[in-house]
Amino acid sequence: MRRTITIAQRELSSMFRVPAGWIIIALFAFLTGVLFVNTTLLPGQPGTLRYFFMYSGWLLIPIAPAISMRLMSEEYRSGSFESLRTAPAGDWSVTLGKYLGSVGYLVLMLVPSLVYPLVLMMVSEPTPDWGPIGAGYLMLVLVGMLYLAIGMLASSLTASQTLAFLGTVMSLILLMVLTDVIIAQLGVFWAGVLRSISITSRVGELAKGVIDTSTIAFFLIGSAWMLVLSAGTLEIKRLGRPRAYTLATTIVFVLVTCAAAGFAGYITSLHHERFDVTSTSAHKLSDRAKRIVERLDSPTKIVLAVSRSNINDQLTLDIVRDVLENYDQSSELIETSFIDLDQADAIKESRRLISDLAAQERGVIDANLETFRSAAQRMQQVAMQMNTLSESLARLREAIPATTQTNVNNRAVFEQRGAIVRIAAQTLASEGEKLLDAIAPILNGDRASDELFPFDTAAGPVAQSLTQVVTQLDDLASQLEAFSNAEELESGPRTVARPIVQQTEALRDSIAQTLDRVVRMPRVDAVRVDRALKTGETMLIIGPPEQGVAAVDLDALLVSSQALDDSGISAMGYIGPRAQELIASAIARLVAPAQPVLVFVHSGQPGELLGASQLYTQTVNELRDRGIDSVEWAALEQTSVPGLDVVDPLGNRPRVYFVIAPDSTTQSTQSGLSGAKRAEALGETVQRLLRSGENLVVSLSPSIFPSAGRPDPLASAVEAFGILPDTGHPLMRERMGPIGRIADPFTAFVPQMSGEDTPHPIAGTIEGLSTVLTWAVPLQIEAREGVTNSPLMTLAGSDELWGESGWLSLWRRPAQSRQTMPNQPEFNDRDDVRRDEWVLAAAAQREWAGTQQRLVVIGSNGWSGDAIFTGQAQVIDGRVMQQWAGNSALFDSSIAWLAGMDDLIGTGSEARPIATIKTLDIRQQSVIRWLLLAGMPALVLLLGMAYRLAFG
Q: Using CB atoms within 10 Å of the CB of residue 594, give its burial: 0 to 12 exposed, 13 to 18 middle, 19+ buried.
A: middle
How much is the pLDDT for 334?
Answer: 92
Q: Which of the 8 DSSP states describes residue 533?
A: H
Omega of the bond prior to 126 within 30 degrees of 0, cis?
Answer: yes
**Distance between CA atoms of residues 792 and 761, nearest Å:** 9
Average pLDDT per block of 10 residues along the chain, 952 residues long: 81 84 90 87 74 85 88 74 60 83 91 90 78 88 92 87 90 84 71 78 75 88 90 76 77 88 86 70 74 88 83 77 88 89 78 80 84 88 88 87 85 88 89 86 65 79 86 88 84 86 88 86 78 77 80 78 59 74 84 86 88 80 81 90 80 92 82 85 94 95 92 94 95 84 87 69 80 93 93 90 92 85 89 93 92 95 82 40 74 91 68 60 82 88 85 68
Question: Torsion angle of alpha carbons 218, 220, 223, 226, nearest 10°?
Answer: -70
Whether domain 296-361+525-557 has CATH 3.30.70: the reply is no
Q: For residue 275, list its beta bridge partners.
A: 211
CB atoms within 10 A of CB 403: 9
**Distance between CA atoms of residues 767 and 875, nearest Å:** 17
User: Residue type for 845, please?
Assistant: Q
Non-local CB neighbours of 118 within 8 Å, separated by 6+ positions: none
**Distance between CA atoms of residues 253 and 543, nearest Å:** 46
Q: Give exposure, 70-83, as e/b (b: 16+ Cβ within 10 Å).
A: bbbbbbbeeeebee
How much is the pLDDT for 312?
Answer: 67
**Distance between CA atoms of residues 673 and 552, nearest Å:** 46
Residue-by-residue DSSP string for 547-576: T-EEE--HHHHS--HHHHHHTT--HHHHHH
CB atoms within 10 A of CB 823: 8
Distance between the two ends of the chain, CA-based, in angstroms? 29
Check: CB of residue 74 under 8 Å from CB of residue 11. Answer: no
**Distance between CA atoms of residues 153 and 72, nearest Å:** 9
How much is the pLDDT for 752?
Answer: 67
Would you call 733 helix, strand, or coil by DSSP? strand
CA-closest candidate to residue 46, choices 580, 577, 562: 562
**Distance between CA atoms of residues 463 and 895, nearest Å:** 39
Check: CB of residue 762 under 8 Å from CB of residue 857. Answer: no
**Distance between CA atoms of residues 698 and 718, nearest Å:** 9
CA distances from residue 483 to 291, 471, 750 in whole angstroms, order as listed: 65, 18, 80
**Distance between CA atoms of residues 791 and 751, nearest Å:** 11
Pairing of strands 851-858, 695-699: parallel
**Distance between CA atoms of residues 538 and 790, nearest Å:** 45
**Distance between CA atoms of residues 541 and 337, nearest Å:** 11
CB atoms within 10 A of CB 344: 8
Check: CB of residue 236 under 8 Å from CB of residue 246. Answer: yes
Check: CB of residue 263 under 8 Å from CB of residue 216. Answer: no
How much is the pLDDT for 654?
Answer: 92
Q: For residue 660, list its beta bridge partners.
A: 699
CA-closest candidate to residue 863, choices 791, 734, 771, 796: 771
Q: Phi and psi of 442, rounded to 5°?
A: -75, -45
Q: What angle do CA 215, 157, 102 make, to 5 degrees?
A: 50
Ramachandran quadrant class, 750 (left: phi over 0; alpha: psi -120 to 50; beta: rest) = beta
Check: CB of residue 700 under 8 Å from CB of residue 778. Answer: no
**Distance between CA atoms of residues 122 and 308, nearest Å:** 34
What DSSP element (H or E) covers 791?
Answer: strand 787-796
How much is the pLDDT for 853?
Answer: 95
User: Residue type for 790, please?
Assistant: S
Q: Which of the 8 DSSP states describes residue 640?
A: S
How much is the pLDDT for 912?
Answer: 45
Q: Using CB atoms within 10 Å of the CB of residue 26, give its burial: 0 to 12 exposed, 13 to 18 middle, 19+ buried.
A: buried
Helix 50-68 / helix 91-110 crossing angle, nearest 10 deg: 140
Q: For residue 672, list its beta bridge partners.
A: 669
CB atoms within 10 A of CB 562: 14
- Nearest-Å Rg of the Cα atoms of the chain is 39
User: Residue type for 759, please?
Assistant: P
Check: CB of residue 538 under 8 Å from CB of residue 466. Answer: no
**Distance between CA atoms of residues 664 and 808, nearest Å:** 11
Give 157-223 as a 3 state SS string: HCCCHHHHHHHHHHHHHHHHHHHHCHHHHCCHHHHHHHHHCCCHHHHHHHHCCEEEHHHHHHHHHHH
Q: Which of the 8 DSSP states describes residue 46?
A: B
Strand positions, DSSP E, 370-525: none
CA-closest candidate to residue 64, choices 141, 120, 174, 10: 141
User: Residue type for 702, please?
Assistant: P
**Distance between CA atoms of residues 394 and 414, nearest Å:** 7
**Distance between CA atoms of residues 510 and 507, nearest Å:** 5
**Distance between CA atoms of residues 580 and 167, nearest Å:** 44
Non-local CB neighbours of 77 within 8 Å, separated by 6+ positions: 159, 160, 161
Q: Which of the 8 DSSP states describes residue 626?
A: T
Give 363-384 as a 3 state SS string: HHHHHHHHHHHHHHHHHHHHHH
CA distances from residue 554 to 318, 513, 536 in whole angstroms, order as listed: 15, 41, 11
Non-local CB neighbours of 644 within 8 Å, separated by 6+ positions: 597, 599, 631, 655
Q: Phi and psi of 922, rounded to 5°?
A: -60, -40
**Distance between CA atoms of residues 772 and 774, nearest Å:** 7
Ramachandran quadrant class, 792 (left: phi over 0; alpha: psi -120 to 50; beta: rest) = alpha
CA distances from residue 324 to 285, 299, 303, 526, 583 in whole angstroms, order as listed: 10, 15, 9, 21, 9
Non-local CB neighbours of 71 within 8 Å, separated by 6+ positions: 11, 98, 99, 102, 151, 152, 155, 156
Pairing of strands 549-551, 629-634: unpaired
CA-closest candidate to residue 898, choices 867, 840, 858: 858
Check: CB of residue 171 under 8 Å from CB of residue 91. Answer: no
